[in-house]
Each structure stands twice: as C-alpha cells, then as structure tokens.
Structure 1
C-alpha cells in the first residue's frame, strides 16, 4: 500500500474516503455478479413457438401482464439495462414531422407512437432483445389523459434466467412490441391480472 510519509496525511485521507465511497456505491446496486459467464445454447422448435403464441391469452401460465413470470426470480438476478435504439424518443419529437422524410413507420404514425430500445441482461439467454417503448403518455389525438392513455403491447417469450450463480430456470418474459391507446374503465375484479 502507499505510505503516509510519501503521500501526505491529506492524500491518504482523500484516498480512504474515495475507497469507501467506491465500495458503498458498488454495493448499493445489489446486483449479483457470478464468476462463470452464462453459456447456454438454446433453440426453439415448432412446438415451443406454438406454446409461446398462446401466452397472449389472458389468465394463462401464471403470466402477469407486463411482468410475465419474472416475479419468480430473485430481484438480485434481474439486471435489465436499456439503451435507446431510435433517434426520436420523446412525444414532441414523434409529433413533429421529420424534414426530408416522406415515409413514416407504423411506430411514428400511430396514435400512440413508440420508439425502440435495446433490452440487455447478462443473467438471461438470450442476452439481448429489441423492444418498443411508448413515446407519449396520452394519444397524440387526445387533449388529456383522463380517459385514454398509451400502453405497451407485449409478446411473451420463454427465456432462461439465472436462479442463482449455478442454476438456471425457464421464465416467461414480456417483450413490448408496440403501443396502443387504452380506455380507462373501472375494474370490476380487483384481483384481475389484466390492467
């Protein structure tokens, strides 16, 4: 280590404080890092794809809307990081026309426009997805959000996730594929999984 005579007492104190702050900041995230990389090969067959297509049906397979079965995984092993994949990501940018562009994508021309972002988690196979994120809270045609709001539409896919550093489990995870306008109504069943 460094001697206090060479660095001076002030430098040692500053270095100690920086070391303590670093240790505290790295432990507050509580994301568990495993020594072994996640190395599974996973392929889907026709039967798997057919099974996944049924996940969109309400009240099936223990799926919670927008969560899938991720609730079964310890939060310390969920470390999803998002990176914007699109240039235009705000509602204002989506409402204003792009100069020099004559063709708008479905994402840009929808009443609830969306942009794309990368969803990455080192504790999952596959590690990376591209998914949609609503750019607006309300429809671009609506004056206020009291009656209608924009919500993501999900596709549910089967992935492998770390259960701990040595075991993996199959999980159903939501991937947003677009956005739609949703009417607000009173929920008759407070225990319904559909929001």
Structure 2
C-alpha cells in the first residue's frame, strides 16, 4: 500500500471515529481570573461604544450561549414601596441563568409593561405617532467568564473574560417628533 493511500485511510478512520465518539469536555481544574475593569464597564454605557466593547461576545459560538430568565416572585425588592413598582415603567426582577457562564446566575430587571403608566393613551404599541411613549430597558455591563470552546488535547472547556449587557431597570422614553421643524440656520 502506498504511503498516500495509508494516510487517506487513516484520516477517514479518524473522522469516522470522531463522529461516533464525540469529545466530552469537563470543567478546567482552575478558571482564569475574572477581570474587574470598571473603566470598560462604564465606557460601555456611552453612545456608540457598546458595539466596540461587546464585539467579543459576538465571537462566542451560539452553542455556548444558553441564557434563560426565571421570574423571582415574592422577593423583597418587589414590595409596593420599591421604585421598581412605583416607576412610570415598572419592572420586576428575574434570574438570568446560563450554564456556560461564570457566574451562572445574575439577577437583572425586566420591564413589566411595554407602555408607560401615565401615558397609556399615547403608547407606541397602540400607535407609532410622533411623541408616543414606551418603556425602555436601562442597561449596565458586567465582566463574566464565558465558555468559548473545548481544548481537544486536554478535553477541558476554555473560558474568556467578556462583558455582558444586563438590564438594571426601565424608563419611559418618547419617540422623537418627526414633524418638528429643523433647527433654524444662519443664512449664508
């Protein structure tokens, strides 16, 4: 048998074996240190910065992002005196759970309504007129360790530091008035 034929047959058997015996990964003995970079977390809230800061999360394979949200009922933060209930855009708290992330569970807010309380008549869900209002999440960013793959030689998961967007609360916003005349300009 020629050497090339032997290599092709060996490669074919290796691929067949890999398909029938997928690599099983385990957690690493030690996770990389979690970066706590408050500057990057705060810069991420600036307009236009979010995409630049969060582009790393887009590089994570979809199979390693498995976020589910579970309502937290009868929690002390949902009492009637809380600002989350008294707000024009009330919110409640949920557990943001992802087994592919460390920490696995993060508590975040979720808007309870899409329409602002005081202006339900002008809600953007009912009409999309200029000046209509709607509830909008307010975000902040936290550093997490995100599972990004599996090292085939060590059969251990790999983790990377990533920034994730978390909802802190909700606020009432108004659509811009498209019929408002533009700012006056000086004649040239």
**Fold similarity call, TM over 0.5:** yes
User: Residues 34 and 172 from structure 1, CA distance in 2 versus in 1: closer, same or farther, beyond 3 angstroms?
Assistant: farther
Query: Which residue is equivalent to 2:138?
Result: 153
Aligned pairs for 1:34-45 (under 5 A) are 35-37=25-27, 40=31, 42-45=33-36
Q: For residues 84 and 58 of structure 1, what CA distance do their matches in structure 2 show?
A: 30
Residue 80 of structure 1 deviates from its aligned partner by 0.8
Moved over 4 A (4+): none
Q: Is there any run of 5+ residues in structure 2 with no aligned partner, and where?
A: 1-22, 125-131, 151-156, 179-188
Of the two structures, which has the highest relative contact order with CA contacts closer than 8 Å and spacing of 6 or more? Answer: 2
Query: Does residue 71 of the first structure (1) align with residue 58 of the second (2)?
Result: yes
Aligned residue runs from structure 1 range 101-112, under 5 A = 104-112=81-89
Q: Unaligned 5+ residue runs, structure 1?
A: 1-32, 89-93, 95-100, 188-195
Question: Under a length normalisation based on structure 2, what TM-score does the superposition of the two structures give?
Answer: 0.63
Is 1:51 the counterpart of 2:28? The answer is no
The equivalent of 2:15 in structure 1 is none
Distance 1:176 1:68 in 2: 18
1:43 positional shift: 4.4
Give the structure-1-normalised TM-score: 0.61
Higher strand fraction (1 or 2): 2
Q: Tell which structure's C-alpha radius of gyration is larger.
A: 2
Distance 1:63 1:104, change over 3 A: farther
